[in-house]
Amino acid sequence: MFKNSIKLMSMILLAGLVVFSSCKKDDEEDPPPSVIVLDGIYVTGASTAYADFNTNATMAVTRNEVDQTERASLYELYIPLTATGGFNIVKVAGSLHTTYGPGAGWGIVAEPTNDEPKDAVIQRGAVEESATTFNVDADGMYHVVIDMELMIATVCQVHWGIIGAATPDGWGTSTVLTESAFNGTEMSWEITEMEFHGGDWKYRYSNGWKIELDTVGTDDVKVNTNFGGVLDALVPGGDNMVNDAPGIYTIGISYVLGTGYTASAVKTGDLPPTDWTGVVCDAVGTGVSIDNPDAIEDPSG
């Protein structure tokens, strides 16, 4: 009887524990884990790939094109955006979130300067604390820039190309790279079977060298729209790159949100021999006598 009593009491205690444990699960669920947002300046909204704050969409300090040194208040982010939903720039400092939207004078730049991008719409103007969103007209890669001291921003669509003595069109205009299909987190641009000569060159987007944020204040502020340096370490506004192995090339540049750009130049063949047939060399300039009766007339005038 004593053994049976002990077993019965044990069963009753065990049943009570099960009931207590079940009640705790049902009635006292653990609170959801809190989301930690690191300090920084974010591009966030329905136009982006993320529903909320994501470190991949954090803006970074960049160079002022005027002196090619970092400006502490100048931030940029290349980011794929859709034409629907809009986005804001949000500064996070601890628990304080400050949301910025377009301010007075924000709009499309009607007459870009000679060095600004010519093959894409540039939006520029003041920003202010507001939940009103920035918007773009087409899906694509965009360059989003803000100066937190001047409170001026710009947004421009990015169509990458290459320019320089080594490229087919020289320094006159960019040779356009073919763009991949739109993707919210990664995109690429490429040209194949291109004659790539010896000489210097750079990447630049939308056929422009810079975007001007402010040229009226005490400090001129402009942002680079080109990359130089070296292929495996691109620098905004960096030195010209040099091709010392002429040939047929595949040139590319790829982007992953949160990682940045990677570039490539792969030689796939040799340049065809130059056909010199019909080439005429002549001398021009004030040092050439125009009254020599035996001179051959210069057809170029």
| 218-244 tens-digit pLDDT | 679 999 999 999 999 999 999 999 999
Calculate mean pLDDT across residues 123-150: 97
Q: What is the pTM of this model?
A: 0.82
The region of weakest confidence among 29-38, 56-65, 93-102, 257-266 is 29-38
Q: What is the pLDDT of residue 248?
A: 98
Calculate mean pLDDT across residues 84-112: 96
Question: 210 and 109, same structural domain?
Answer: no
Q: Is residue 33 part of a domain?
A: no
- Tell which of 138, 157, 176 closes a domain: 157
- Tell which of 107, 142, 157 closes a domain: 157
Calculate mean pLDDT across residues 214-218: 76
Average model confidence (pLDDT) for the chain? 89
Is the separation of the CB atoms in 107 and 125 below 8 Å?
yes
Distance (Å) of CA 238 to CA 63, 148, 173? 10, 24, 18
Q: Is residue 28 part of a domain?
A: no
Calculate mean pLDDT across residues 149-164: 98
Question: 194 and 104, same structural domain?
Answer: no
- Tell which of 136, 157, 178 closes a domain: 157
Strands (E), 11-108: 40-44, 60-64, 69-81, 88-93, 96-102, 107-108
Strand (E) or helix (H) holding 252: strand 247-256
Question: 173 and 146, same structural domain?
Answer: no
pLDDT band at 293 (very low <50, low <70, confident <90, very high): confident
Q: What is the pLDDT of residue 22?
A: 47
Cβ atoms within 10 Å of 33's Cβ, excluding its own: 6
Question: 117 and 223, same structural domain?
Answer: no
Q: What is the pLDDT of residue 18?
A: 44
Question: 255 and 184, same structural domain?
Answer: yes
Structural domain total, the chain: 2
Q: Is residue 274 part of a domain?
A: no
Question: 152 and 167, same structural domain?
Answer: no
CA–CA gap between residue 26 and residue 20 (Å, rounded): 10
Question: 152 and 46, same structural domain?
Answer: yes
Q: What is the pLDDT of residue 218?
A: 66
Question: 169 and 147, same structural domain?
Answer: no
Residues of the chain with pLDDT > 90, as a percent, come to: 76
Q: What is the pLDDT of residue 19?
A: 44
Instruction: Give the domain extent around 246.
Output: 160-269
Q: What is the pLDDT of residue 30?
A: 64
The region of weakest confidence among 48-52, 115-119, 121-125, 289-293 is 289-293
Q: Is residue 61 part of a domain?
A: yes
Q: CA triplet 102, 88, 151: central angle to 5 degrees?
A: 45
Q: Residue 75 pLDDT more than 90?
A: yes
Q: Is residue 83 part of a domain?
A: yes
Q: Residue 73 pLDDT more than 90?
A: yes
Q: What is the pLDDT of residue 209?
A: 98
In Å, how far from its chain's centre is CA 15? 63
pLDDT digits (tens, 9 = 90+) for 2-59: 455 555 455 544 555 444 444 445 556 666 655 678 999 999 999 999 989 999 999 9
